């Protein structure tokens, strides 16, 4: 039996600002992100295994992505911690807001790299991360493929 790709989609709302950017995205704003997570592996062939025929239980994949990404980033605001936005972040945190201070400029490109590392570290040995697609608008998205990395 060959390899099969399994994809699960997620939605979350996140705000951010791009410090030093020369367009509107330098202002604090938000997106309704859509994240597609594709893993690859061989379906379980052990007839005594409760997950016979599955590459990975969709529920198990959902648990990983929700815990490490969706539950963390949903309704949070992300700032690059190496910019003056840390002053704004501190003010928001002091007022009870959920703020993430990232080691990177919070573009879709950098977020998808971060998400790939987080997901890869949690997958079972026999499952590989194949691709991620992070869509920030209906017409704009960033993709990560294992084959490119």
Predicted confidence at residue 46, as pLDDT, reads: 94
User: Catalytic residue at 109?
Assistant: no
Give the model confidence (pLDDT) of 83-125 as tens digits: 999 999 999 999 999 999 999 999 999 999 999 999 999 999 9
Mean pLDDT of 17-27: 95
Q: Domain with 117 in it: what CATH number?
A: 3.30.479.10
Catalytic residue among 29, 49, 75, 97: 75
Q: pTM (2 decimals)?
A: 0.95
pLDDT averaged over the chain?
97
What is the helix (H) or strand (E) element at residue 71, kind and residue range? helix 71-73
Kindly tell me the sign of the dihedral angle through the C-alpha atoms of 43, 44, 46, 49: negative
pLDDT > 90: percent of the chain: 99
Domain membership of residue 122 as a residue range: 4-145
At residue 137, the 3 state secondary structure works out as strand
Catalytic residue among 25, 31, 109, 143: 25
Count of the separate structural domains present in the chain: 1
pLDDT at residue 1 greater than cutoff 80: no
User: Catalytic residue at 75?
Assistant: yes
Q: Please, which residues have CB within 8 angstroms of residue 69's CB and are 6 or more apart in sequence?
A: 10, 12, 35, 115, 118, 119
Predicted confidence at residue 135, as pLDDT, reads: 98
């Amino acid at each position: 039996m060959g390899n099969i790709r399994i994809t699960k989609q997620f939605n979350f709302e996140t705000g951010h600002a791009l410090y030093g950017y020369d367009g509107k995205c330098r202002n604090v704003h938000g997106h309704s992100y859509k994240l597609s997570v594709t893993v690859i592996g061989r379906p379980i062939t052990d007839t005594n295994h409760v997950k016979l025929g599955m590459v990975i239980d969709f529920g198990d994949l959902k648990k990983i992505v929700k815990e490490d990404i969706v539950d963390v980033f949903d309704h949070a605001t992300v700032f690059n911690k190496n910019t003056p936005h840390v002053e704004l972040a501190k003010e928001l945190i002091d007022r009870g807001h959920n703020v993430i201070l990232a080691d990177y400029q919070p573009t879709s490109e950098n977020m998808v790299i971060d998400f790939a590392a987080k997901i890869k570290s949690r997958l079972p040995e026999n499952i590989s991360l194949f691709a991620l697609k992070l869509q920030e608008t209906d017409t704009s998205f960033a993709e990560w493929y294992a084959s490119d990395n």
